[in-house]
Chains A and B, each alone.
Chain A
Amino acid sequence: MADQLNYPEGEALSDQIARRHTRGKIWRSSFLVALIIAILVLVSLVYNVVNQAFGLVAVENAIDPAVLVSQTGADPATVSLDELTKDDYVEMLQANISTGLGRRLERDQRFYEDRLVFDNQAAWDAACAAAEPAAGCLLPARDTDNVYQLVIERVVEQRVIETWFLRDSLLRGDEIRAEFLAENPNAEIEFRSWLTADFLTRPQSSRPELAGVRTAIFGSLWVVLVTLLFSFPVGVGAAIYLEEYASKQNIVNRIIQTNINNLAGVPSIIYGMLGLAIFVRVLGAVSSGYLFDYASIENRQNSLINSMESNFGITIIIEDGDVTSAIEGPNAAFDLSVTEAQLLVDEFTTLSWRNFDIDEVDASVIVARGLRIPVSVETDDNGTERLVPKDDSVMTAANFSLLSREMANAAKAIDNGRTVISAGLTLGLLILPIIIINAQEAVRAVPLSMRQASMGLGATQWQTIWNHVLPQALPGILTGTILAMSRAIGETAPLVVVGASTFIAFDPNGPFSKFTVMPIQIYQWTSRPQAEFRNIAAAAIIVLLILLLSLNATAVLLRNRYANK
């Protein structure tokens, strides 16, 4: 009885209970506030991205389409540019672009089956008789639509001169139109989504209207593939060893365990330094693909030397596999003809996946170890970009011999491990502790009774692990892997250190390719001065998020399939 008096009764009891409920309610509402804050942050992030990825743009044409229409004799009031004939379009091209450009377009694909527009017959026949005939010799002639596109691209030359955010575009679209058009009567204002199908399928470009994320998407996928192929088996294997075989009593194992836990918290840039030191430098011969590609690289070097000799009269001397000198040809100081420069640049671009950085600053020069060739980027009808030397490509003999030496050395490509495989392995190291820790947890969560049941039937430890522990731990292991993969896709810093390129106009096509990845592409675009780059950066962020979500969704589906079994 005396004990009972120590507890509140009656009024006091209900007061006490009410107080306990109040405390619970306060906690509950503070959790709700936390949730709301989190949602607000997320919403504002999405808003910010969407706001920039869509909106009004002001475009201006070099030549007003109406003027072009009236030049053909048609009435611009009733006929629009896209309703004309192929002959009209070809005439427009003849009137408005240089013969050099026209000839190049014709070599790519001719305008008419039966006659030449820009080239003369003799040169054309020569080009077609060459060992590697021009593409146009083999292709059928361009159709009307194709020529119309050329007119839009080369003659009308539409340029974006101003962009607006989605919010402004929606709220005060009319105002913007009125104000801007008053000042720029030649401009047109239209609504544009920067995220288009073309944006996904086009490679990187120095012009924001033409730039796409294809190379970056491929880069990210390749890197993540290598990362997973490395870290999933290694991580799960290590986790199984630590959980199932290693004695918890053993001091060495405990030190290893503590280290793994701490490694998960090491800043990613440190892994970048590690990757640079190991994969790029020490294992450069492996990670550049040189070891696996030896023969073809030797051949490449030889053909390059021959081409230098026959085209430029430059002799390259090789001793013990190294270029010792390049002897200049007959012209002491020559102007590079456009053809010669093109040849050189083509050699360059085939090599560039290994060894050259194409300077991203408006891609107007190729930089090879201090040497610069002025170039411009041109897009052909298929949307592929090609580097074209500027007409004023002048190069001194000294520079040229230096360049050819560089190129011959580049063909060897011994020392450049800044490739997909180095990046993938670096990220693999980065997420390895995450995968190990999660897999360990999943393995530990398999109840002892399962192991007892299995061992009690006379199963060996490995049979128990393979048949019971792993299948039951798999959903947990995959959850950890999903987390780790998301981290890997978003990583930027270590890849900058390991040497992701900032400008890659070619799809990575294997573990030994140079590459760029989505986050680096985004970072690079946001740091460009032109406003349109920020728009496409926002579009790229949306692409990255979608990529991330779809990879995760795949992994979750996979996991659920196993979990249901």
Chain B
Amino acid sequence: MMQGNYALQAKDLNIYYGSFRAVKDIELNIHTNKITSFIGPSGCGKSTLLRAFNRMNDLIEISHMKGSIEYKGKNLYDSDVDPVEVRRRIGMVFQKPNPFPKSIYDNIAWGAKINGFRGNMDELVEESLRSAALWDEVKDKLDQSGLSLSGGQQQRLCIARTIAVKPEIILMDEPCSALDPIATLKIEELMRQLQEEYTIVIVTHNMQQAARASDYTAFLNMDSSDRAGYMVEFNETNEMFTSPQNQETEDYITGRFG
């Protein structure tokens, strides 16, 4: 693994909610143009860790962090870094589809507009919807509300919206948990296509999804004494699922956990 090919590097990362430490001592490298998945039991801090990568935890007043996350050699949490720019470069798709209560067109155009997009908006909308494999389904009803779509379509709309602002990294927090298997497969396929241009980090509870759709996997677990999440093992997905280094990992992926 070449140094410098990392999109993100977390160093000695600890994240707190008030005095409660939710995630501790994370050392993690996210590879450029690869898909990295986070797996682990509920409450171990996967979402918390993911949100740290684009400073989404800033929205939670009681949360604060120690350590650093490096992006292009710069700590995202340095005082001269503007979180707005961080989120423009590192986009996020959430567990529950959350389109704006606007038209499908505006759902995509809005993000571009506020970020000062100067090109052809119609082209951008079409291109983003195509990349999110949604164009054919919605091309005749772009002026309908984004909320009128099905759950799976809404989630792809949210992905299209994220792609439209041309981030470099896309964070996805259980993007398929509200979707049926077919929609899930569609999104996995989509991730594979997006991978060429984007670095993707995904949180999932679905072991097959992690095995199928990701290049690297990080397994997080919760420390039974202080309930803080820590990283048990990080490896290439094939390795992790065929020959896990750690007993805890093996128990978890084979379903013997707990």
Contact = CB atoms under 8 A, between A and B. Distances in A.
Interface string B150-169: 00000000100110010000
Interface in A360-381: none
B165 A458 contact: yes
A458 B56 contact: no
13 contacts: A249-B61, A452-B92, A452-B98, A453-B98, A453-B158, A454-B100, A456-B54, A457-B87, A457-B88, A457-B110, A458-B111, A459-B114, A460-B114
Identify the interface centre among B91, B110, B162: most chain A CB within 10 Å of its CB. B110
Nearest to B18: A249
B56 A468 contact: no
B65 to A, nearest CB: 17
Contacts of A459: 84, 111, 114
B21 interface: no
A449 interface: yes
A456 B62 contact: no
Given A453-B158, A459-B84, A248 B114 contact: no
A468 B100 contact: yes
B56 A248 contact: no
Given A457-B162, A460-B84, A472-B101, 15 more contacts: A449-B96, A450-B98, A455-B59, A455-B87, A456-B92, A457-B87, A457-B110, A457-B165, A458-B84, A458-B85, A458-B91, A458-B165, A459-B111, A459-B114, A460-B114
B7 to A, nearest CB: 17
B16 interface: no
B51 to A, nearest CB: 9
B115 interface: yes
Contacts of A559: none
Contacts of B56: 452, 455-456
A467 interface: yes
A458 B98 contact: no
A557 interface: no
A448 interface: yes
Interface in B38-59: 54, 56, 59
A458 B59 contact: no
B96 A457 contact: no
A453 to B, nearest CB: 5
B172 to A, nearest CB: 11
A454 B101 CA distance: 12
A201 interface: no
8 tightest CB-CB pairs across the interface, nearest first? A458-B88, A457-B111, A456-B92, A449-B98, A453-B98, A458-B87, A459-B114, A463-B114
Given A248-B61, A450-B100, A451-B59, A457 B114 contact: yes
A219 B84 CA distance: 50
Interface string A460-475: 1001000110001000
A249 B99 CA distance: 31
B135 interface: no
A257 B101 CA distance: 31
Interface residues of A, number: 22
Contacts of B62: 249
Nearest to B58: A455
A457 B94 contact: no
A455 B91 CA distance: 9
Interface of A: 247-249, 447-460, 463, 467-468, 472, 565
B168 to A, nearest CB: 12
A234 to B, nearest CB: 25
A6 B94 CA distance: 46
A461 to B, nearest CB: 9
Nearest to A471: B101
Given A457-B87, A457-B91, A247 B61 contact: yes
B252 to A, nearest CB: 28
A278 B59 CA distance: 40
Nearest to B51: A452
A454 B107 CA distance: 10
A455 B59 CA distance: 9
Interface in B79-106: 84-85, 87-88, 91-92, 94, 96, 98-101
Nearest to A449: B98
A448 B61 CA distance: 12
Interface in B100-157: 100-101, 110-111, 114-115
B244 to A, nearest CB: 33
A457 B161 contact: yes
Nearest to B171: A456
A459 B162 CA distance: 12
Contact of B162 (A248, A455, A456, A467): A456
A459 B94 CA distance: 16
Contacts of B115: 457-458
Nearest to A472: B101
A248 B98 CA distance: 26
A449 B85 contact: no
Interface string B61-77: 11000000000000000
Contacts of A460: 84, 114
A446 B100 CA distance: 12
A452 B94 contact: yes
Identify the interface centre among B114, B115, B158, B161: most chain A CB within 10 Å of its CB. B114
A448 B59 contact: yes
Contacts of B94: 449, 452-453, 456
Nearest to A459: B114
A460 B114 CA distance: 9
B227 to A, nearest CB: 23
Contacts of B161: 453, 457
Contacts of A248: 61
A243 to B, nearest CB: 12
B158 to A, nearest CB: 7
A468 B111 CA distance: 12
A346 to B, nearest CB: 61
Contacts of B114: 457-460, 463, 467
B58 to A, nearest CB: 8
Nearest to A453: B98
Contacts of B84: 458-460
Contacts of A455: 56, 59, 87
Contacts of B101: 472, 565
Contacts of A450: 98, 100
A452 B165 contact: no
A472 B102 CA distance: 11
Contact of B91 (A447, A454, A456, A472): A456
